[in-house]
């Protein structure tokens, strides 16, 4: 049927993802192609030392994003968006949203960006013999218990941002397994929270006066393809206050942006991997066997269908790069030059290809916030150079592109060099790859592996979430990997860039300086308040 007919009959799937700087909606038809989109830009704020978004930010943002999608449908096809077959929500993983029994949020939403749970992690990681990162929900919960925060005794339920949205729209307190793996460790045999670790936590928390068992307050875990409720009448009104959207849409398990990134890049099978590079950056590699030991720099999570994944998550990626591009934009504007932003990014990024492979003695740290991979609870963006450095625009841009990837390289050097993890294919997606070739080439140098960017990668996580919603309705006995290979990516094209030996050596040299100079970053945090 035509796209217009499909929309009119509700034969479409919708994915909405809450990213760090943008909420984006993608509507797909029966061929899984995007047919309409909506967006809403937003920013986290630092309030009383906490990176957060308010509930008003969340709901006005969601409603504006959906209104933008509905407007796109009206303008393109001349019809109203009244019904949708399947809907899925995804968001920034981890974080902390605790609620009381009346459903009231007890403290402001603590996002993944907060690095305030070091004490909790130092207790939980050895207790579990499993790396518990600072941004994980269980780390936030236990830190609140250790801090004897007043709200702890009133907790009836806690979840993530995606889980919260799904709950309010469907009434179901559930999470997709990939998102759940950022709340508490998952057992990939039972496809549920690790019961042994839960028991250890309950025993520990009880000694600290916590009255609840984890099983009572965690969301239920679901696998990709399972049904996770329906859009209620109240939920439809929350999503679309105009009342045009009808309730009844099937809802798939809410996922994290890591899981949707894996789906969007066809990287859910063993020995595949992907890198998502935007405000934050993370790599995901699906493992064929367990790692030899736990590493602070590597998180163990899962694919949306429960396969174990080694994740290197870095809090900082393009924020500092964007700040420098904005500075160049301001400079141009001062001379009356009006340069389109994408063109400016393209020119500056491509300039980096002319640079010395090791950046000619230039060094940068892109730490807007703390970076646990390199042991920092706070960050201060820094640019350094030796007196005899080759201080050119090309080297300057390459240093900042390297900086955006350097912490990721530090973590992946453990995975790829020490653990000898095999990766057959590595997919890149996110804003860093918007300018062709440049981001790919730098990432290939960082990880010494071929990097592919698919033609659909620009659609990113919201499209991946819409695909997961469609999978719930269409799977017909297929695994998620089979479904993606057979129905989504068959015939898809992309570009692959292999690592250049000189680029790899140059990045290794840059990283050696980067690691050796980390004490200066720590001193900057202590000295620059």
Write the pLDDT tens digit of every residue in 187-235.
Answer: 989 999 999 999 999 999 999 999 999 999 999 999 999 999 999 999 9
Q: Which pLDDT belongs to residue 301?
A: 92
To the nearest 10 degrees (0 to 180), the angle between helices 518-527 and 501-516 is 40
Name the residue among 440, 279, 436 with its Cα closest to residue 369.
Answer: 279
Share of the chain above pLDDT 90, in %: 85
How far is CA 94 from its chain centroid?
9
Q: How far apart are CA 240 and CA 59, in angstroms?
A: 10
Q: Provide the H-helix boundaries in 273-391.
A: 319-334, 341-351
pLDDT band at 180 (very low <50, low <70, confident <90, very high): very high
Beta strands in 174-236 (DSSP E): 174-176, 186-187, 192-193, 220-222
Q: How far apart are CA 199 and CA 211, in angstroms?
A: 14
- Residue 171: its H or E element: none
CATH T-level assignment (fold) for domain 3-256: Nucleotidyltransferase; domain 5 (3.30.420)
Residue with tokens 């020490």: 418
Task: State pLDDT tens for residues 439-488.
Answer: 999 999 999 999 998 875 556 789 999 999 999 999 989 999 999 999 99
Q: Which pLDDT belongs to residue 456?
A: 56
Q: How far apart are CA 375 and CA 518, in angstroms?
A: 9
Residues 425 and 485: beta-carbon distance below 8 Å = no
Share of the chain above pLDDT 70, in %: 99
User: What tokens appear for 143 in the block?
Assistant: 């830190």
Q: How far apart are CA 360 and CA 528, in angstroms?
A: 27
Counting beta carbons within 10 angstroms of the beta carbon of residue 56, is it exposed (0 to 12), middle (13 to 18) or buried (19 or more)? exposed
Residue with tokens 């680029």: 503
User: Taking the model in full, what pTM does it have?
Assistant: 0.82
Better-scored residue on pLDDT, 396 or 459: 396
Q: Collapsing DSSP states into helix, strand and coil, what is residue 419? A: coil
Least confident window among 20-34, 57-71, 205-219, 287-301: 287-301
How would you label 388-409 residue by residue, b for 16+ Cβ within 10 Å and e otherwise?
Answer: ebbebebbbbbbbbbbbbbbbb
Q: Which pLDDT belongs to residue 529?
A: 85
Name the residue among 204, 442, 147 with its Cα closest to residue 318.
Answer: 442
Better-scored residue on pLDDT, 491 or 228: 228
Q: Is the pLDDT of residue 168 over 80?
A: yes
Residues 6+ apart with CB under 8 A from 501: none
Name the residue among 471, 500, 509, 495 with its Cα closest to residue 251.
Answer: 471
How would you label 159-179 residue by residue, b for 16+ Cβ within 10 Å and e otherwise?
Answer: bbbbbbbbbbbbebbbbbbbb
Q: How far apart are CA 385 and CA 524, in angstroms?
A: 16
**What average pLDDT score do residues 404-419 get?**
94
**What average pLDDT score do residues 288-315 get?**
90
């Amino acid at each position: 049927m035509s796209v217009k007919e499909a929309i009119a009959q509700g034969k479409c799937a919708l994915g909405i993802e809450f990213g760090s700087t943008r909420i984006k909606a993608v509507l797909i038809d029966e061929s899984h192609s995007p047919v309409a989109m909506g967006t809403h830009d937003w920013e986290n704020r630092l309030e009383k030392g906490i990176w957060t978004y308010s509930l008003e930010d969340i709901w006005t943002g969601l409603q504006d994003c959906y209104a933008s999608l509905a407007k796109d449908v009206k303008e393109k096809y001349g019809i109203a968006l009244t019904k949708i077959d399947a809907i899925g929500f995804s968001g920034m993983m981890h974080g902390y949203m605790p609620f009381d029994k009346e459903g009231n949020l007890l403290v402001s939403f603590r996002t993944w960006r907060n690095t305030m749970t070091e004490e909790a992690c130092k207790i939980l990681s050895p207790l579990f013999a499993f790396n518990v990162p600072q941004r994980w929900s269980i780390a936030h919960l236990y830190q609140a218990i250790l801090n004897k925060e007043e709200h702890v005794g009133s907790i009836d339920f806690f979840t993530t941002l995606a889980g919260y949205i799904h709950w309010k729209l469907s009434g179901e307190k559930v999470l997709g397994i990939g998102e759940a793996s950022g709340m508490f460790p998952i057992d990939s045999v039972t496809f549920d929270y690790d019961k042994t670790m839960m028991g250890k936590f309950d025993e520990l928390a009880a000694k600290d006066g916590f009255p609840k068992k984890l099983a009572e307050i965690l969301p239920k875990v679901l696998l990709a393809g399972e049904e996770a409720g329906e859009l209620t009448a109240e939920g439809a009104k929350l999503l679309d206050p105009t009342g045009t959207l009808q309730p009844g849409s099937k809802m798939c398990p809410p996922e994290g942006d890591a899981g949707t990134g894996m789906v969007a890049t066809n990287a859910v099978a063993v020995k595949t991997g992907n890198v998502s590079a935007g405000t934050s950056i993370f790599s995901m590699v699906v493992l064929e066997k367990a790692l030899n030991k736990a590493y602070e720099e590597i998180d163990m999570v899962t694919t949306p269908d429960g396969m174990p994944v080694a994740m290197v998550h870095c809090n900082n990626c393009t924020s500092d790069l964007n700040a420098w591009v904005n500075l160049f934009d301001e400079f141009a504007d001062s001379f009356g030059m009006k340069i389109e932003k994408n063109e400016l990014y393209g020119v500056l990024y491509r300039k980096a290809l002319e640079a010395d492979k090791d950046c000619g003695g230039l060094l940068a740290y892109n730490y807007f916030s703390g970076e646990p991979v390199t042991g920092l609870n706070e960050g201060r963006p820094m640019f350094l150079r030796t007196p005899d450095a080759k201080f050119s625009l090309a080297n300057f841009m390459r240093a900042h592109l390297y900086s955006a990837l350097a912490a990721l390289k530090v973590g992946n050097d453990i995975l790829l060099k020490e653990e000898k993890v095999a990766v057959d294919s590595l997919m890149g997606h996110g804003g860093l790859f918007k300018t062709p070739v440049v981001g790919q080439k730098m990432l290939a140098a960082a990880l010494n592996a071929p990097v592919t960017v698919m033609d659909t990668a620009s659609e990113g996580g919201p499209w991946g979430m819409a695909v997961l919603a469609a999978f719930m309705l269409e799977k017909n006995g297929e695994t998620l990997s089979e479904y993606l290979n057979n129905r989504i990516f068959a015939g898809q094209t992309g570009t692959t860039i292999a690592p250049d030996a000189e680029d790899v050596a140059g990045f290794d040299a840059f990283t050696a300086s980067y690691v050796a100079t980390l004490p200066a970053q720590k001193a900057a945090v202590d000295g620059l308040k």
